[in-house]
Amino acid sequence: MGIRIIGTGRYTPERLLTNADLEKMVDTSDEWIVSRTGIKERHIARPDETTSDMAAKAAEAALEIAGINADTLDLIIVSTVTPDMPFPNTATIVQKKIGAAPCVCFDIEAACSGLLYGLNTAYGMMASPLKYKRALVIGAEKLSSIVDWTDRSTCVLFGDAAAAVILENDGDPETPDFYADGVVSANGNYGDILQMPAGGSAMPASHESVDNHLHFIKMGGPKTFQLAVHSMVEACRTLIERATIPLEKIRWVIPHQANWRIISAVAARLDMPERVYQNVERYGNTSSASIGICLDELNRSGQLEKGDYVLTVSFGAGLTWSALLIRW
């Protein structure tokens, strides 16, 4: 159908929070953080800098490289667990900030799997009889707003960022789709291992919920690691088995940048360590923005050529997971 990626973009806040900085805040050390996560620094948004601010800047970067105006977009999807507010949705706020015309706008909440959920959704809508021509898919997170900075087991992991991908249907049946194959799934039985307990209808904000730090990320470490590795590896193997292309034609594997131990375990089990892209040491875990950041870095550095295949894979709270084989 000729649906292809025509632009990528990313944005990270100016402030850097290094491991040395964290040593002054909680009982931790650079050696402890690096040995367990591979993270050396992360970007932190200003107090007045919102998720939609970062999303809009990533979108503008993607629009520039795509060479199109925002008012030509037919669809805007934002994946985030840190929306500016419960409603209106963040996509509509981004729509206003980038000067887009009236179009379909909605948010997706699939945690770290969100960008791939969004790309799968956008592709389905563009390939439908609705025939949307251009779609903007964003992963944006201000995780610093939901991190407990007194909890050394989680505060060292996360950073703030946004990444954007623009899709276009050129209507040429001879143009191969960017979407070669995909897997999207979830298992709600594991929803309690990674969550923010308070702030929703199940536990509205109260003095008690605030006093008990229930508006922050809560994570069960060992179980999260096991499920993350298993779900990502199985999703990749499913796509590899279904693909009608030689394995050596997959130029890059981009896993969700949660931490280096997870990335290394996935790379080892797939037996493709030399093709696994990672940048977690510079950003930390940016949730739904992480794969988009990697994709933009590869795109802008000239490490992607027409016809290359990129295998992307993610997992997140829910437990959600997704893999997408991209044809560049």
Residues, the chain: 328
- Active site (annotated) includes residue 299: no
Active-site pick, 112, 155, 236, 294 = 112
- Indicate the SS3 state at residue 264: helix
Provide the pairing of β-strand 320-327 with 309-316.
Answer: antiparallel
Active-site pick, 19, 120, 259, 285 = 285
- Active site (annotated) includes residue 285: yes
- Would you call 308 exposed, middle or buried from its count of C-beta atoms within 10 A (0-12, 13-18, 19+)? middle
Q: Which residues contact 248 (CB under 8 A, 6 or more apart)?
A: none
Q: Which residues contact 82 (CB under 8 A, 6 or more apart)?
A: 51, 140, 141, 142, 143, 145, 146
- Do residues 234 and 293 lie in contact, with contact meaning Cβ atoms separated by under 8 Å? no
Distance, CA of 58 to CA of 80 (rounded, Å):
14
| 169-172 CB contacts, 8 Å cutoff, 24+ apart | 169/1, 169/2, 169/3, 169/126, 169/131, 169/132, 169/133, 169/134, 170/2, 170/4, 171/1, 171/2, 171/133, 172/2
Q: Which residues contact 164 (CB under 8 A, 6 or more apart)?
A: 7, 8, 9, 10, 55, 58, 59, 61, 62, 136, 137, 138, 139, 292
DSSP, residue by residue, 95-128? HHHHTPPS-EEEEE--GGGHHHHHHHHHHHHHSS
Residue 43's region, left for phi above 0, alpha for psi from -120 to 50, else beta, is beta
- Active site (annotated) includes residue 169: no
Active-site pick, 19, 256, 259, 299 = 256
The pair of structure tokens assigned to 321 is 């997971």
Tell me which residue of 288, 279, 253, 257 sits closest to 268, measured CA to CA: 253
Q: Which residues are designated catalytic?
A: 112, 256, 285
